[in-house]
């Protein structure tokens, strides 16, 4: 099981970026996938997730600004980020795991339920 995030870069405050997460080694279409991020000096936190039936959950920090979607034909989950803020600066990771709000929002307790972590992709938002 492996998922690789890409698409990070530098954007100005208020700008947009789209991240991609490509999965391999498992039946992608049946797998729930989540995005996480980790800012310097902070704990990893859940951002968004999408189930195989396209149930979607967002953290309160990104709700209304980020959109998660998937294309099973390309084994890819996307994270479209708009109205970016300086506090969105972080390394973004994707992983396979349950798309349930309380699990997404409590990495410290439920992080072990996710697998396939790749290296992540760095997003820097300049003000």
- DSSP result, 52-77: TT--EEE-TTTTTTEEEEEEGGGTEE
- Residue whose token pair is 């995030």: 5
Q: List CB contacts of 65: < 8 A, sequence separation 6 or more.
A: 81, 82, 83, 84
Q: What is the pLDDT of residues 33-42, one digit of tens each?
A: 999 999 999 9
pLDDT beneath 50: ranges in the chain? none
pLDDT for 118: 87
Burial of residue 92 (number of CB atoms within 10 Å: 0-12, 13-18, 19+)? buried
């Amino acid at each position: 099981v492996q998922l690789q995030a890409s698409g990070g870069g530098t954007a100005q405050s208020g700008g947009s970026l789209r991240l991609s997460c490509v999965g391999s080694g498992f039946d992608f279409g049946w797998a729930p996938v989540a995005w996480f991020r980790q800012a310097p000096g902070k704990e990893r936190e859940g951002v968004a997730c999408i189930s195989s039936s396209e149930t979607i959950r967002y953290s309160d920090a990104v709700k209304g600004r980020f959109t998660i979607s998937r294309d099973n034909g390309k084994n890819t989950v996307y994270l479209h980020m708009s109205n970016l803020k300086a506090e969105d600066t972080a390394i973004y990771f994707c992983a396979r795991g349950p798309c349930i709000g309380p699990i997404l929002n409590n990495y410290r307790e439920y992080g072990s339920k996710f697998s396939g972590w790749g290296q992540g992709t760095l997003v820097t938002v300049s003000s």
